[in-house]
Amino acid sequence: MRRRPTVNCRPSDTPAGNPVGRNLRNHDSARVGKGTDRATRTVHHSGYSATNASQPMTLTRRNFAISCGAFASSALICARYGLGDSAPFDTRLPIPTLIDAAKQGNAVHLKVMSGRHAFVHGKSTRTYGYSAPILGPVIRMHRGDEIEMTVDNALDTVTTVHWHGLLVPGDKDGGPQQLIRPGGRWRPVLKIDQPAATLWFHPHPHHNTARQIYMGLTGMIIVDDGTDARLGLPQTFGNDDLPLDPAGPLVRF
């Protein structure tokens, strides 16, 4: 029987009804399925939501992105153009930056920073991001590697960086006890030793997790163990392997 890894991530201050918040409530474990369908890179959620306490929930990488962005986007499209109309897609699909750790000596730097982003055309608002005004990169990590992470906190408030689903010791995991103070730096070394998985990273400061996430602090991790290549699965980032950016301009106003 496959042992299910434990992830200490179930913030109590996540607001109900927030799409990101629902993901937070539903994820406390992540692993790779080996079924006969397209579950080869799947995040399994054990389902602790109030409405689904016992039913397991399966979330693929594609569904993960859709759950964050497409719900809101489709609602906006319907509201503006009507259910029967087609919206003009004339804006380039934003693709997050890919950092392949192995291609840069397994040393990755993240700057936790504030920025501005216009969710609605012409209306800029303050946001947070990892080395970007909003959101963060996709970090590809390879099984067997040791990755030297350097995190600089350029915010005016404390934060942490939790590698959600990575099987790493508690003192590397970025929980609420591992605060990075404003102007501070955190340098954990992450030994990657788990099957292929689609994961994410996010802040985990006590009583401020939800706010910092919906301000934009979210990034993706792909653990690569060679399975995709052996099975011939799509893996050309930005071409046939597309993380969808929920902050992207899917609809123009």
The two three-digit tokens of residue 86, written as one number? 């087609």
State how far the Cα of 94 lies from the Cα of 227, in Å rounded to an integer. Answer: 27
Longest dimension (CA), the chain: 54
Least spacing, CB of residue 170 vs Cu ion, in Å: 14
Least spacing, CB of residue 24 vs Cu ion, in Å: 6
Residue placing its CB nearer to Cu ion in the complex, 77 or 161:
161
Residue placing its CB nearer to Cu ion in the complex, 10 or 34:
10
What are the residues facing 180 on neighbouring strands?
159
Least spacing, CB of residue 183 vs Cu ion, in Å: 25
Q: Residue 171 — φ and ψ, nearest 5°?
A: -80, 0
State how far the Cα of 196 lies from the Cα of 211, in Å rounded to an integer. Answer: 30
3-state secondary structure 187-250: CCEEECCCCCEEEEEECCCCCCHHHHHHCCCCEEEEEECCHHHHHCCCCCECCCECCCCCCCCC
Q: At what angle do helices 61-81 and 19-26 cross, to 10 degrees?
A: 160
Least spacing, CB of residue 131 vs Cu ion, in Å: 19
Least spacing, CB of residue 9 vs Cu ion, in Å: 3
Residue placing its CB nearer to Cu ion in the complex, 117 or 164:
164
Q: Which residues contact 194 (CB under 8 A, 6 or more apart)?
A: 5, 31, 143, 166, 167, 223, 225
Least spacing, CB of residue 220 vs Cu ion, in Å: 12
Around 60, how many Cα atoms within 13 Å sit in the side-chain half-sphere? 13
State how far the Cα of 242 lies from the Cα of 160, in Å rounded to an integer. Answer: 27
Residue placing its CB nearer to Cu ion in the complex, 153 or 160:
160
Residue placing its CB nearer to Cu ion in the complex, 43 or 108:
43
Least spacing, CB of residue 39 vs Cu ion, in Å: 21
55, amino acid identity: Q
Residue placing its CB nearer to Cu ion in the complex, 9 or 99:
9
Residue placing its CB nearer to Cu ion in the complex, 140 or 164:
164
Q: Which residues bind Cu ion (CB under 5 A)?
A: 9, 164
The two three-digit tokens of residue 55, written as one number? 């039913």
